[in-house]
Structure 1
Amino acid sequence: MAENRAVTYQGAGKVRVDEIPYPSWELKDGPGVNPDNVGRPLHHGAILKVVTTNICGSDQHMVRGRTTAPEGLALGHEITGEVVETGRDVEFIKVGDLCSVPFNIACGRCRNCKERKTGICLNVNPDRPGSAYGYVDMGGWVGGQAEYVMVPYADFNLLPFPDKDQAMSKIMDLTMLSDIFPTGFHGCVTAGVGVGSTVYIAGAGPVGLAAAAGAQLLGAAVVIVGDLVEDRLAQARSFGCETVDVSKGDPRDQIEEILGVREVDCGVDAVGFEARGHGEGAQQEAPATVLNSLMDLTAAGGALGIPGLYVTGDPGGIDEAAKKGSLSLSLGTGWAKSLSFTTGQCPVMKYNRGLMMAILHDRVQIAKAVNATRISLDEAPQGYADFDSGAAKKYVIDPHGSVAA
């Protein structure tokens, strides 16, 4: 049997590469596995040799100790891989297929899956609707920052690429299909971005940059990205975005300098619950800042897409309310302006094939937009540290040395 190694969470600020079991046709007990999922048969699944697997900002929330993630949890939900084994119940996915793995785990059978709401599948997580690989409170499915990973319900979940050689030539773009490109795109779609829109995206991390690229693909006239880190703002400018340095004060003032008005048509929150203040409070955590700011600067009748992560348990929250995910929102502002809000996991399968086609036919260069940077599995702990320090890069782990330099 093949060996398997993975990046594991070892407590606040600590990750390491450990030996973990090679995937089997049954979900075994382990860190974070819901007891009701232990022993679950996986004959509908496929085992993938991981080609690329990315470090996500959502992983960083766990690694910072800002969730209730257990030590020993194998991390990673952004996965692209080659099928090396299929379960007895798999009909259409074949050994040798190179596939993108949506970070949502979905059964394909429940009401929500049939309605394309694959981010809130009812059958894969006994704790709540929705699941993901290597993530806290998501049922305990083993993460994919590893050499090999099990993908359940393979016929439904996997997106095979039509030509393996073509896919490998664009693998640094295609690896973004598992999460951040559809997630950023979903934020823009739900914010109502279309031809001629003006858009403000809060956050110039990888999801914010992916949202910016998605807004351009949707035909936005002006895409404005706000952040505190100049390197990240420079990355946004590198592919045609306007930028706002929120450390300099209220984003509306800088938006007015760009547009001539203090409001945009559409707002996207790509920051989430670890948001910081604006202006003089920019170095202090203020988790409601982004949402309240977006309500202020989005025009009446507009919409907010909220792909940024918010949690129900945050041990590092600034107060007792924040530790439970309760924030001081100016909902009256949103109500008075008739704003719409969309939150939650992106239903990746709603978008991933279309975005794959955009990549394959050179309609978008998402790897360039997010500054995709290849590292080895053994370099993953340093990648986490660099990403946490604000590096304007999207780290792509290459466990088997499959990606050309």
Structure 2
Amino acid sequence: MCQNHGVAYIKPGEVQVQEIEYPKLALGDRKCEHGVILKIVSTNICGSDQHMVRGRTTAPAGLVLGHEITGIVLEAGRDVEFIRVGDLVSVPFNIACGRCRNCKEGRTGICLNVNPSRPGAAYGYVDMGGWVGGQAEYVMVPYADFNLLKFPDKDQGMAYIKDLTLLSDIFPTGFHGAVTAGVGPGSIVYVAGAGPVGLACAASCHLLGAAVVIVGDMIKERLDQAKSFGCEVIDLTKDTPLEQAIEAIIGVPEVDCFVDCVGFEARGHGADAGEERPATVLNTAMAVTRAGGAIGIPGLYVTGDPGAKDTAAQQGSLSIRIGLGWAKSHSFYTGQCPVMKYHRPLMNAILYDKIKIAKAVNVEVITLQDAPRGYQDFDKGAAKKFVIDPHGMIA
């Protein structure tokens, strides 16, 4: 049997590439006839993975990481009808059965059948059903006919692979954040955070026709990356209140749409820039979004954060000014992105050259053995999206 290697979480601040079990078409003791085994072409390091690696979740040691997966089908179960061996496919990070009420309503991020603990599941993620992650050479994907997006032409797919690899998570997630914030033609948008999801969101806002996209962050290189494709930027290490910084750009101190691409490890702005303040982005959103505006929240918030400074935050309880949001009639949209709602049209946008998403998020391809270095550089704030190429298949 072929060997398999994967990136495993060891302890806070440490991951290792280890030999892991070659995947089987099995769910526990029973055969998984609706699944496939993939040879992984590309698998990406995500900011959500970093929360675990920093020790900010209850992830167990030895967890094989990775929920952003693109691969070639090597083996298919008996019940797989429409996906074929040899197909090049994108794997949504949400694992969904396609049979439950939520899946039938298109809410695949909260499938009811793939995680015994709570609605929703993902590969290689804490509390998400125990599924083996995809930062590896091979992985098993269940409910293949429902979950997988087949690229129409394998050679074309490989030519665009640095862009298409982002369909498994951050491109749909950023797009979802923009859509749920109400971004459309002529919108003025503020995107909190210029990490890969924030950059993907900003590029998505342009795709949706926004008039002005403002991105705030504390890392100069990430702000420079946002500027490289036409965004206005705000350096949050400066003491200028965000309302004033926005007014300096557009003439008024508020925006139509706000997208939180930071999540629960947020830090204060200005003089408080180094201090962790998990509710900062949410409270800022309500302060600078116009009355009647919407706030998309694709940034991750958790129910268990052992690294939080106070007891309430350790259980995901944050002090937010909900009264302000209520008074301004804000709409809030939270939760996992239902990737399948977006990945096919976004694939077409890539293949027909309507967006250069890999350029926007600054993709850098690395080997599987280089994954620990990728995690370290990403944790230091590198303005890059690290894409792992386990088999050396990306040109």
Q: Confirm or deny a common fold (TM above 0.5).
A: yes
The 10-residue stretch of structure 1 (248-257 or 316-325) with the greater mean CA deviation from structure 2: 248-257
> Counterparts in 2 of 1:83-94, with a 5 A limit?
83-94=73-84
Matched position secondary structure for 1:225: strand
1-structure distance, mates of 2:150, 2:344: 9
The equivalent residue for 2:269 is 278
- Distance in 1 (CA, whole Å) between partners of 2:134 and 2:187 is 37
Aligned-pair identity in percent equals 72
Name 2:9's counterpart in structure 1: 9
CA apart distance, 1:152:
0.3
Task: For residue 90 of structure 1, report the CA deviation from its aligned partner.
Answer: 0.6
State the Cα deviation string for residues 171-230 of structure 1 (Å, max 9, x = none). Answer: 000000000000000000000000000000000000000000000000000000000000
Give deviations 1:123-173, integer Å, cap 9, x for gaps.
000000000000000010000000000010000000000001111001000
Distance in 1 (CA, whole Å) between partners of 2:81 and 2:152 is: 17
Aligned with 1:358: secondary structure? helix
Long gaps (5+) in structure 1: 28-37
1:42 and 2:32 correspond: yes
Residue 114 of structure 2 corresponds to residue 119 of structure 1? no
Equivalent positions of 1:222-371 (< 5 A) are 222-249=212-239, 250-371=241-362
Counterpart amino acid of residue 24 in structure 1: K
Shift in Å, 1:21? 0.5
Letter matched to residue 11 of structure 2: G
Aligned to 1:171: 161
Instruction: Show the counterpart of 1:135.
Output: 125
Q: Distance in 1 between matches of 2:221 and 2:314?
A: 30
Aligned to 1:53: 43
Cα distance, 1:376–1:263 mapped onto 2, change above 3 Å: same
Q: CA deviation at 1:40?
A: 5.0
- 1:107 — aligned with what? 97
The DSSP-based 3-state class of the residue aligned with 2:324 is: helix
Whole-angstrom distance in 2 between the partners of 1:264 and 1:45: 45
Maintained 8 Å contact 1:245/1:251 = no
Contact 1:314 1:323 in 2 (8 A): yes
SS in 1 for 2:78: coil
Which deviations, in whole Å up to 9, do the C-alpha atoms of 1:276-314 show, x marking residues without a partner?
001100000000000000110000000000000000000
Quote the offset at 1:43 in angstroms.
1.3
1:13-69: per-residue Cα shift (whole Å, max 9, x none)?
010000111111223xxxxxxxxxx43542110000000000000000000000000
For residues 237 and 281 of structure 2, the distance between their equivalents in structure 1, rounded to whole angstroms, comes to 13
> Over aligned residues, Cα RMSD in angstroms?
0.6
Q: Which letter maps to 1:386? A: D
Residue 252 (structure 1) shift: 1.4
Q: Which residue of 2 aligns with 1:194?
A: 184
Structure 2 runs not aligned, ≥5 long: none
Instruction: State the match for 1:150 in structure 2.
Output: 140
On the 8 A contact 1:146/1:399 being kept in 2, the answer is: yes
What's the CA shift string for 1:80-107, capped at 9, x where partnerless?
A: 0000000111111000000000000000
Cα-to-partner distance string for 1:373-405 (whole Å, 9 max, x where unaligned): 00000000000000000000000000000000x
Alpha-carbon distance between aligned partners in 2 of 1:43 and 1:379, rounded to the nearest angstrom: 34
Instruction: Give the Cα–Cα distance (whole angstroms) in 2 for the partners of residues 375 and 333 of structure 1.
Output: 45
What does residue 392 of structure 1 align with? 383
Q: 1:11 to 1:42 in 2, by over 3 A?
A: same
TM-score (norm 1): 0.97
TM-score normalised by length of structure 2: 0.99
* C-alpha distance in structure 1 between counterparts of 2:236 and 2:244, whole Å: 10
207, 216, 221: which is aligned to 2:197?
207
Corresponding position of 1:20: 20
Q: Which runs of 4+ in 1 moved over 2 A?
A: 38-41
Contact 1:93–1:155, Cα closer than 8 Å, also in 2: yes
Cα distance in 2 for residues equivalent to 1:318 and 1:360: 45
State whether residues 226 and 251 of structure 1, in contact with CA within 8 Å, keep that contact through their aligned partners in structure 2: no
